[in-house]
Structures are given as C-alpha cells and as structure tokens.
Amino acid sequence: MADKIKTPRTKEVEFGGSLGAFLLMFVMPGTVLFLLLTCNTDDASVLRVPGPLPPLQSLWNPYALILLLGWVSLQAVLYILPLGTITEGITLRDNTRLKYKINAFYAFLVSGLLAGVAVMVQLPLSYVYDHFLQFAAASGLLSLTLSIFLYIKSLAAPESALAPGGNSGNPLYDFFIGHELNPRIGSFDLKYFCELRPGLIGWCLVNLCFMMKEVELRGSPSLSMILVCGFQGLYVIDALWHEEAILTTMDIVHDGFGFMLAFGDLCWVPFTYSLQAYFLVRHPQDLSTTAAIAIVLLNALGYIIFRGSNSQKNAFRRNPLDPSVAGLETIPTATGKCLLVSGWWGLVRHPNYLGDLIMALAWSLPCGLFHILPYFYVIYFTVLLVHREARDEHQCLKKYGLAWQKYCKRVPYRIFPYIY
C-alpha cells in the first residue's frame, strides 16, 4: 500500500533552484576554508584574502581521516546500544510512524567520560588544533561521500519515502536538498543520527581540544575560553537532553537528507560553530570580571527565552490540558489543532529564534569587539533563522490558512519585538 502512495513533484524550489544548489556546494566548503585560514592569520581580517591558499596535498592527512572515522564509528556504536527509550515520530504520508532511539544524552556522557580520560592520561588533544584544517577537509570528504551514497540509495526508495521538498526531478537540486526523507539502513536512521551526534557532540570535543591547546601555550585556560566553551556546552547539552523535540523540526519533517544537511551536520557545525574558541587560541582576549558577568547575564536571558518558549511549545503539543499551558490563549485551525497566541508565542512568532540569537551574541562577545570574524556565527545564524522563518511562514500559511493569518495579525513581529 505504501508503495502506491506517491510523493508529489516539488514545484517550489528553494535556494535559487539547481543553479543555487550548484553554487552552494562550492560556497559552503569555501566558506569553511576561508574562515579557518583567516583565523590563522595575525590580524584575522576578513577584508582580504588570507595569503596564498595551501596546496591541496597539505589538506590531506590520513590520520585526520582515520580519527574522524573512528569518532563517527564511536557515535554510531553508542547510537545502536540498548540505552535510552524508543519514541515515535510524526505520522508520515503513508500513515506510518517511524521509531527513534532517544539516547543522545547518554552518548554525550560516554563521550565526555572518554574525553576526560584522554585529558588525565595527557593525550595530545592539541593535535586537533594543530591539524584543524586537515580535519575539516576530511570531514568535507566524508560529507560528500555520504551525500553520493544517499542520492544513489534514494533512487531505489519507494515513492512514499521521498522528501516533499526534494522531489523536483532535477538530479542536481535533489542531490543537494535531499531526495529521500528518512533514509535508513535497517533501523539505523542516517539523518537523525547525523543531526545531533557526530557534529554536535564533536563541537564540544573540538572546543575541549582548543582549551587544551591554550593550556599548552599559556599554562591555563583564559576566562574568555571558559565562557565560550561553557556557553556552547550548555547549548549542546540542552539539545541532547531534549532530543525528542527534534522530531518535529523542519529538518526531520520536511527536508530530505542530501548534501545540504550532510555537510551541515558533519562539517559546517563542528568547524564553524567552534570558530570563537579557535580564534581565542591565537588571539587571546583579556576579559574583565564586570564584562564577564554582563555576558553571562546576556546568555542567561537568551537561554531563558529559548528554553522557555521551546518547553511551552512542546508541552502544548504533547498535552494542551497540561496545567503549565492550559491557561494560554489559542486560535483553532481547520486541521483540528490550535495555535498558541499568548505566553512566549504571543511575544513574537518565533521566540525560540530570538533566544537563539541572543545566546549567539553572548558566545561572540568574549572574543572582544575589534574583530568581526568571531561574530560570523551570529551574523550567519541571523541570516539562517530569518530565511528559516520565511520557510516556516510559507508552510504554516499553506497548512493553517485563515487561522495563520489571524495569528499574524495578533502577533505582528516575527523574531525581534518592535523591529522585525
């Protein structure tokens, strides 16, 4: 029966269609290369090309690739271990619901324990900093290889398993955006695994390696480094602790698994999100206690908005009669669901994005105010979330119609109150 259900052709392409997809497959790796090379210059200026490009052979390091594959393999083993719980995703087009293993937080604890042992026995974790560009190249190669495998696999997938946004019929575009929605090998969900584990947990490990490099150079970690690693570690722990919430995100529900997400999960996240810590190793910053307290309070504000709004939304989705959300005002929709129009979701349409961006700013401030490079994340994330918000708006308008229009009139600001 499922094989008879066909995914309609994708009529509305994104990112500029096939031409945009083609360009992004070069722009994304090129951006990672540019940022890391610039970070390694004395002035870390983004206004000029960072010297001669390294020869291609210098980007190849078999040990970096072996270590990277070992890390991904470790996370895969932790994923399949009988730890955690099993939950179901949303109902698919064929009325089935996939099962997902919720154990990413346990994987983080085991990974953290192993990292702690590595520090205790004085393994040279600074090796990651010294060969970071080569690790990035290995990760890019792994992402491309996985993307090719995913596209080939998708050609044999049943029509019902294809992604609604990646079934355009254009091979280049579908390769980039992802042709199959939930590619699996047996019960091993490739997209779900990559979303939270190798790259996100790896982000924390990379930050630890940078901190150890700073200890090697200066005898102790700086306050700036401690704040950056602490803030980003909290963010990762929060995501892993609330792992089940990812099952309702656009990445899982709508986007296929292709080059965009594969490269994003395995290369973009660990090698650009860690840019502040990478920057601080070569460009140390003095941070006063007053400034540190102010930055901590800013991050706390962002986290309160981010976690409060997400928890409110998740509680309402699970049980609208939950005492924590039962008193909130709602707008009924034709689908039988209701839209929250008070609480955090009465402030702006995407309060979780607002909290995210406030935290992103707090992560960059410990790097000082004289370089734009450490602020790449908050700039990029603003563009990303504004674009994602536009995608959300489009999908919600199609899904909820008049109810969504009514909600938008009640809550006119999208992300930033009184601004946007």
> Each residue of 255-281: b (16+ CB within 10 Å) or e?
bbbbbbbbbbbbbbbbbbbbbbbbbbb
C-alpha to C-alpha distance for 380 and 115, rounded to whole angstroms: 30
Residue 199, pLDDT score: 95
Specify whether the CB–CB gap between 174 and 51 falls below 8 A: no
What is the pTM assigned to this prediction?
0.89
Q: Tell me, what DSSP letter sits at residue 184?
A: E
Specify whether the CB–CB gap between 75 and 115 falls below 8 A: no
Residue 72, pLDDT score: 97
Which of 149-153's residues contact partners 24+ apart within 8 Å by CB, and which partners? 150/178, 150/179, 150/180, 150/183, 150/190, 150/257, 150/258, 150/262, 151/175, 151/179, 151/258, 153/180, 153/183
- For the chain, give the number of residues: 420
- The CA-to-CA distance between both ends of the chain, in Å, stands at 46
Q: Which residues of the chain carry a pLDDT beneath 70?
A: 1-5
Specify whether the CB–CB gap between 374 and 284 falls below 8 A: no
Residue type, 78: L
Q: How far is CA 232 from the centre of its chain?
A: 12
Nearest to 69 by CA among 119, 142, 162: 142
Residue 4, pLDDT score: 59
Angle (nearest 5°) at CA 153 between 148 and 157: 145
C-alpha to C-alpha distance for 218 and 6, rounded to whole angstroms: 60
